[in-house]
C-alpha cells in the first residue's frame, strides 16, 4: 500500500524514512520501497494480512503512535452536529448475511468540478486517477480510513430505491471500466427497482455514475461479506482498491466514520451542499472481544519479568480498555477494529511489538531437537529406504477416490466417507492406497511405458474420520518381490510375522492373506484379481499388493543401538557407474559390504539417470561411501578402488 508521508504526518509525528522503516519493522510491517512524487516521499508499505485496520492512512498513523510511544495529533473526523433525517429513499437489504450494514446519506445542492489541488496530488501520489470532486473525495476517504465508499447519482435511481440483492441469472451491468459483465445468482449487487447499479463492494455501474449534470448523490458506506466479494471479483476478473479492502474484512465502526468524513470534505469543497441522513441498516451488531490476560503466563511465555503496571501501560497505548485488574490478571476489552486480537497470545505479541524483540533476553539453554534412533519418524524413513533398496519407486497419490473403487478396496474400513464437492461425480476419502496407485500403473500402461514396482507411505481414513498411516506396495514385475519386502521388514521387529488365510473381494481366490505381529493384525497381502485389473485398463497383468499399518508395525520394532564410530577423521569417496537397468541398490550395497570389512562405513545413492547418452536397458548410478577408520594408517583410495573392481566383475559396471 502506497503512503504519502506528508499526508501521514497530519495524524502523527514522523522521523525520517529510515527511522520510520525501523518503527514499522518493529511492528511486523515493512517499507518495500520509497520514492519522490510531486515533492513528497511516498512509501510502499507491506501490510500483514490480518490487519485490515491498517489499510488506511489513519490506521497506519495509529500503529506508528503505538510502536513509537507518541500520540496522535487529531482524530479522524471533526465532530459535527446531527444531520437531518429523511425517509424519501427506500433502502432494503435482502441478503442479510452478505450485507450486515448499509449506511446511506443523500447530499444535495452539489456542483461537479475538479477537486482541490491537495486532494488531486495525494490521489496521484498513491496511484489513483482524479475524476471529479465527488468521486475523488470518496477515493480520498477510502485511502484515509480504509473504508470503501460509493456515490450514486440520485436522479438515475429508479423509484428512489436501493436494494441489496443477488443478481438474476443473465443480468448484465456496464461497469465504470466500460466493460459489460454477465452476472449470475452468486453475485451480490446494489440495485434500484429495475436494474443493478453496482457490483456490491467492487465497482459501480455506468448507469448510476456521477456526471457534470449530477446535483444530488446517494453516498453508500457498507459492510459486505469478504468471501462473496472475493468470489465475484475472481470470477469476473475485476480487482479494485475497494474489493481488496472488502476481501480483507471492512471495519464495522469505520462505516459511519468514513461517511461523516466524506460529508465534511464535500461541505468544505462545496459550501452550498446539504446532507440528509437516510438509513443505517444493520443486520448484525459486532461484539467486542474480552480477553482475560494472565500476567504470570505472559512473563513465562515471553521470558520477561514485567509488572502489572508496565503491562497495563503498554496495552493502554494500544487503545485497549482494561476493565478489571486484580494483581494477577487483567481483563482486556478489545476495540472492534482490532480483529486480530482474540487470545492471550495475541496480547503477548502486542507487548513484544511495543518493547521490541531486542528486549527479550535468553535465560535458558534450549534442549536439543535430535530424533532418537528408534523414533517413529526415523522408523518411517528406514521403511522407505529399505523398500527403495529392494527396487521400488515411491509415488504420491490423491487423497480422494472414485465410488467404483471406494467400496472394492475398503478392507481397512467398513464405512466410507463421502466428500462434499461441486464436482459432478462424488468422491470418497480413500480407505486404501491401492486404487490411486493402480491409476499410476494404468497411466504408464496407457502411454506405453513399462510397468514399475511402486510404493507409497501415506494416510487413509476410516469411517469415523480417524487417520491411519500405511505403506502400500504394488509389485507388477517380480511376483516374489512382496516376500522379499516382508522378509526385510520382519527383520526390523521383535515379533515373528504370521499369515492367516483371508478372502478379499478384489483378490484372486485363495491368494490373499492377513498379516499379524503378535496377536495384532497389521496388514494384508494378495494377488489382485483380473476382473479388477480389467476395470483399471490393466488387463493381462499380474499385480500383487502389500498394505501394512505403519504404526502397528512400529510398536513391534527391535531396539537398535546407536553405532559407535571411530574418533579418527572420516574419509569419503564417490563412485559413478553405468549398470544394467535390472541391477538393484541392494546388489550394489552387498558388494560394498564385502569389500569394506576393516572399518565402519555408510553408503547411500545420490543420483540415478536414464536416457540421454545412456544406452537403452542401462542406467547411471552415483553413490557415496563414507568410511570411519579405526586406525590412523588407512588408504581410502585403495579401498574405493577395490569396490570399483568388484563392481566391474559382478555387475559388468562401467565406471565413469
Q: pLDDT-derived band of residue 368, with 50, 70 and 90 as boundaries?
A: very low
Q: Write down the pLDDT at residue 562.
A: 46
Q: Which three cell numbers stand for residue 7?
A: 499526508
Give the Cα separation of 606 and 621 in Å (integer): 8
To which residue does cell 480504509 refer? Answer: 146
Candidates 122, 132, 137; CA nearest to 39 is 122
Q: What are phi and psi of 32, to 5 degrees?
A: -70, -35
Q: What is the DSSP string of 4-23?
A: EHHHHTTTS----HHHHHHH
Q: What is the pLDDT of residues 556-579, one digit of tens each?
A: 876 654 445 456 677 788 999 999
Q: pLDDT-derived band of residue 369, with 50, 70 and 90 as boundaries?
A: very low
Q: Write down the pLDDT at residue 366.
A: 42
Q: What is the pLDDT of residues 102-155, one digit of tens each?
A: 999 999 999 999 999 999 999 999 999 999 999 999 999 999 999 999 999 999
Q: What are phi and psi of 22, to 5 degrees?
A: -65, -40
Give the Cα separation of 195 and 180 in Å (integer): 14
The yes-or-no verdict on residue 315 having pLDDT over 50 is yes
Q: Using a pLDDT cut of 70, give the percent of the chain over it.
A: 90
CA dihedral sign, ordered 98, 287, 249, 161: positive
Q: What is the pTM of this model?
A: 0.59
Q: What is the pLDDT of residues 469-498, one digit of tens each?
A: 999 999 887 656 787 788 888 877 777 788
Q: pLDDT-derived band of residue 399, with 50, 70 and 90 as boundaries?
A: confident
The yes-or-no verdict on residue 226 having pLDDT over 90 is yes
Q: Using a pLDDT cut of 90, give the percent of the chain over it.
A: 43
Q: Which three cell numbers stand for residue 204?
A: 459501480
Q: pLDDT-derived band of residue 64, with 50, 70 and 90 as boundaries?
A: very high
Give the Cα separation of 381 and 457 in Å (integer): 10
* Rounded mean pLDDT, 600-609: 77
Q: Write down the pLDDT at residue 367.
A: 44
Q: What is the DSSP string of 309-331?
A: HHHHHHHHHTT-EEEEE-SSEEE
Give the Cα separation of 203 and 175 in Å (integer): 7
Q: Write down the pLDDT at residue 422.
A: 53
* Residue bearing the bigger pLDDT, 265 or 400: 265
CA dihedral sign, ordered 496, 499, 505, 506: positive
The yes-or-no verdict on residue 95 having pLDDT over 90 is yes
Q: Write down the pLDDT at residue 106.
A: 94
Which 3 state secondary structure label does DSSP give 121? helix
Give the Cα separation of 489 and 495 in Å (integer): 11
Amino acid at each position: 500500500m502506497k503512503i504519502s508521508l506528508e499526508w501521514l504526518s497530519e495524524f502523527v509525528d514522523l522521523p525520517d524514512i529510515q527511522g520510520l522503516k525501523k518503527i514499522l519493522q518493529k511492528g511486523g510491517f515493512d517499507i518495500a520501497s520509497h520514492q519522490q512524487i510531486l515533492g513528497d516521499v511516498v512509501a510502499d508499505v507491506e501490510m500483514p494480512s490480518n490487519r485490515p485496520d491498517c489499510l488506511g492512512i489513519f490506521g497506519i498513523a495509529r500503529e506508528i503512535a503505538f510502536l513509537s510511544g507518541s500520540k496522535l495529533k487529531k482524530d479522524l473526523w471533526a465532530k459535527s452536529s446531527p444531520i437531518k433525517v429523511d425517509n424519501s429513499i427506500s433502502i432494503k437489504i435482502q441478503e442479510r448475511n452478505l450485507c450486515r450494514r448499509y449506511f446511506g446519506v443523500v447530499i444535495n445542492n452539489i456542483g461537479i468540478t475538479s477537486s482541490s489541488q491537495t486532494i488531486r496530488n495525494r490521489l496521484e501520489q498513491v496511484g489513483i486517477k482524479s475524476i471529479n470532486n465527488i468521486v475523488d473525495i470518496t477515493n480520498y476517504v477510502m485511502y484515509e480510513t480504509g473504508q470503501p465508499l460509493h456515490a450514486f447519482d440520485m436522479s438515475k435511481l429508479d423509484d428512489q430505491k436501493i436494494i441489496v440483492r443477488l443478481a438474476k441469472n443473465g443480468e448484465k451491468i456496464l461497469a465504470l471500466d466500460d466493460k459489460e459483465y454477465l452476472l449470475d445468482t452468486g453475485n451480490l449487487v446494489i440495485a434500484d427497482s429495475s436494474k443493478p447499479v453496482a457490483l456490491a463492494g467492487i465497482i459501480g455501474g455506468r448507469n448510476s455514475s456521477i456526471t457534470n449534470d449530477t446535483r444530488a448523490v446517494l453516498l453508500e458506506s457498507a459492510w459486505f461479506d469478504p468471501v462473496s466479494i472475493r468470489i465475484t471479483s475472481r470470477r469476473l476478473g475485476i480487482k479494485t482498491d475497494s474489493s481488496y479492502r472488502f476481501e480483507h474484512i471492512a471495519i464495522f465502526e469505520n462505516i459511519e466514520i468514513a461517511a461523516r468524513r466524506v460529508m465534511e470534505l464535500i461541505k468544505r469543497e462545496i459550501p452550498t451542499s446539504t446532507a440528509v441522513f437516510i438509513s443505517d441498516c444493520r443486520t448484525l451488531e459486532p461484539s467486542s472481544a474480552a480477553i482475560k490476560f494472565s500476567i504470570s503466563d505472559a512473563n513465562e511465555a515471553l521470558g520477561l519479568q514485567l509488572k502489572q503496571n508496565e503491562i497495563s501501560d503498554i496495552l493502554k497505548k494500544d487503545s485497549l480498555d482494561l476493565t478489571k485488574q486484580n494483581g494477577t490478571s487483567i481483563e482486556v476489552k478489545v476495540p472492534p477494529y482490532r480483529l486480530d486480537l482474540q487470545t492471550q497470545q495475541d496480547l503477548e505479541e502486542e507487548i513484544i511489538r511495543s518493547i521490541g524483540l531486542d528486549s527479550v533476553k535468553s535465560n535458558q539453554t534450549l534442549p536439543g531437537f535430535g530424533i532418537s534412533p528408534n523414533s517413529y519418524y526415523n522408523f518411517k524413513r528406514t521403511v522407505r529406504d529399505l523398500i527403495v533398496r529392494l527396487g521400488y519407486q515411491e509415488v504420491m497419490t490423491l487423497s480422494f477416490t472414485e465410488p467404483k473403487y471406494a467400496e472394492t478396496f475398503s478392507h481397512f474400513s467398513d464405512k466410507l466417507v463421502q466428500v462434499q464437492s461441486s464436482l459432478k461425480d462424488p468422491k470418497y476419502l480413500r480407505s486404501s492406497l491401492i486404487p490411486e496407485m493402480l491409476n499410476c500403473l494404468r497411466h504408464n500402461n496407457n502411454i506405453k511405458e513399462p510397468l514399475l514396482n511402486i510404493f507409497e507411505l501415506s494416510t487413509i481414513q476410516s469411517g469415523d474420520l480417524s487417520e491411519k498411516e500405511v505403506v502400500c506396495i504394488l509389485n507388477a514385475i517380480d511376483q516374489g518381490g512382496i516376500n522379499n519386502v516382508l522378509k526385510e521388514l520382519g527383520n526390523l521387529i521383535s515379533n515373528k510375522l504370521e499369515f492367516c488365510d483371508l478372502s478379499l473381494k478384489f483378490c484372486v481366490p485363495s491368494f490373499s492373506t492377513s498379516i499379524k505381529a503378535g496377536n495384532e493384525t497389521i496388514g494384508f497381502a494378495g494377488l489382485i484379481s483380473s476382473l479388477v485389473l480389467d476395470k483399471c485398463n490393466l488387463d493381462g497383468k499380474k499385480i500383487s499388493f502389500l498394505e501394512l499399518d505403519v504404526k502397528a508395525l512400529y510398536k513391534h520394532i527391535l531396539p537398535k543401538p546407536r553405532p559407535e564410530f571411530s574418533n579418527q577423521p572420516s574419509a569419503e569417496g564417490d563412485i559413478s557407474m553405468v549398470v544394467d537397468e535390472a541391477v538393484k541398490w541392494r546388489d550394489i550395497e552387498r558388494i560394498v559390504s564385502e569389500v569394506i570389512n576393516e572399518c565402519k562405513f555408510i553408503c547411500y545413492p545420490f543420483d540415478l539417470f536414464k536416457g540421454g547418452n545412456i544406452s537403452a536397458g542401462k542406467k547411471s548410478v552415483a553413490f557415496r561411501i563414507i568410511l570411519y577408520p579405526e586406525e590412523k594408517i588407512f588408504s581410502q583410495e585403495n579401498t574405493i578402488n577395490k569396490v570399483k573392481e568388484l563392481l566391474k566383475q559382478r555387475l559388468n559396471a562401467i565406471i565413469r
